[in-house]
Amino acid sequence: MSTNRLLELFEQNPGEYVSGELISQQLGVSRTAVWKQIKKLESIGYQFDASRRLGYKLISSPDTLSVPELLSQMKSKIFGSSIHWFESVDSTQNIAQKLAEEGAPEGTLVIAEQQQNGRGRMGRGWVSPQGKGIWMSMILRPSTPIHFAPQLTLLTAVALCRSLRRVTELPIGIKWPNDLLIEGKKISGILLESTAEDERLRYVIAGIGISVNLEKTDYPDEMLNKVTSLRIANGGDGFDRTTIITDFLHEWEQLYLLYCEKGFGPIITLWEALSVSLNQPARLITPQGTIDGVPIGLDASGALTVRKEDGSTVIVFSAEMGEPVR
């Protein structure tokens, strides 16, 4: 029995109890099989009231994204014009990569309600529960050399920060290079994975994770001092994911066009204005060693300029940024 047929029965009887006996008759399965399917639906966000006497009543359905609704609200022209939506995937990055290899055009978007194996930077995982966040990957085909890829990461962080501030009115800032934070806790992460040939980018998969409506119980306890969601930061009131996605894609497209026309300069100015990492002492753990100093800005390539205690400056391309050790 598919859960779809069971859901159809509840849709035909809105707000009413449907007896287990009627369901098993209509669908030709045992009452135990019905109960198992109800449990399966509950595990993906449906809520039922179960009464021994009356049967089951559907109380609420999970917040599921709808592709027609996304397309009807889309303000961007290229980015998000083709959407591949999935209920559950291992990682949207893998699906987008496969589509890119098959020739999917720039702007193709892969969105999943849930990721079983979402991945973050530095080999970490990414908490991606059903229907509560935005887990998406976008195919880019920039005509730039491979060493420009980090600029796209910073551009994505700027677009996301500007858009989320506008939609949520929450005090969101960028921690170098591309984490979005509210009062020191992470609400979003960006993962760019590039494939190049002869020093040119063949395609880039921009993975974006936004913790929109997660509750504290969605995170492992040990993460709670480092992460939050838009909903938690907003005092418990959630946000509409469709609005967030479509607004972000529009902002992204505008900034990408600006970048293609005017280069990286304007993006640096915008990034620096939104950054919470500048002019604060920090410890940077780079592949070459640890640097203690004060980040003072981005250089023309997008690398971080850090002033050390002896007054000299160093350029940092890749690092984990943390609090200084006192």
List contacts with ligand BTN (CB under 6 A).
91-93, 115, 118-121, 124, 126, 135-137, 179, 189-191, 207-209
Smallest gap, in angstroms, from Cβ of residue 103 to ligand BTN? 21
Smallest gap, in angstroms, from Cβ of residue 219 to ligand BTN? 14
Q: Hunting for tokens 């880039």 — which residue is that?
A: 204
Nearer of residues 90 and 299 to ligand BTN, judged by Cβ: 90
Rounded Cα distance, 147 and 141, in Å? 14
Among candidate residues 287, 237, 249, the one with its CA nearest the CA of residue 122: 287
Smallest gap, in angstroms, from Cβ of residue 91 to ligand BTN? 3
Exposure letters 207-245 (e unless 16+ CB within 10 A, then b): bbbbbbbbeeebbeeeeeeebbbbbbbbeeebbebbebb
Longest distance between any two alpha carbons in the chain, whole Å: 80
Nearer of residues 20 and 177 to ligand BTN, judged by Cβ: 177
For 9-94, strand residue ranges (E) read 47-51, 55-60, 83-89
Nearer of residues 209 and 293 to ligand BTN, judged by Cβ: 209
Smallest gap, in angstroms, from Cβ of residue 101 to ligand BTN? 17
Smallest gap, in angstroms, from Cβ of residue 17 to ligand BTN? 39
User: Residues 107, 81: contact at Cβ < 8 Å?
Assistant: yes
Shortest Cβ contact with ligand BTN: which residue?
A: 189
Nearer of residues 209 and 295 to ligand BTN, judged by Cβ: 209
Smallest gap, in angstroms, from Cβ of residue 306 to ligand BTN? 21
Smallest gap, in angstroms, from Cβ of residue 82 to ligand BTN? 17
> What length is written for the chain?
326
Rounded Cα distance, 292 and 259, in Å? 32
Rounded Cα distance, 240 and 228, in Å? 17
Nearer of residues 38 and 112 to ligand BTN, judged by Cβ: 112
Nearer of residues 41 and 157 to ligand BTN, judged by Cβ: 157
Smallest gap, in angstroms, from Cβ of residue 123 to ligand BTN? 9
Nearer of residues 58 and 104 to ligand BTN, judged by Cβ: 104
User: Residues 159, 246: contact at Cβ < 8 Å?
Assistant: no
Tell me, rounded to whole angstroms, the distance of Cα 231 from its chain centroid.
Answer: 14
Among candidate residues 214, 210, 211, the one with its CA nearest the CA of residue 252: 210
Nearer of residues 58 and 139 to ligand BTN, judged by Cβ: 139
Rounded Cα distance, 5 and 305, in Å? 59
Q: Hunting for tokens 């640096």 — which residue is that?
A: 268
User: Residues 249, 208: contact at Cβ < 8 Å?
Assistant: no
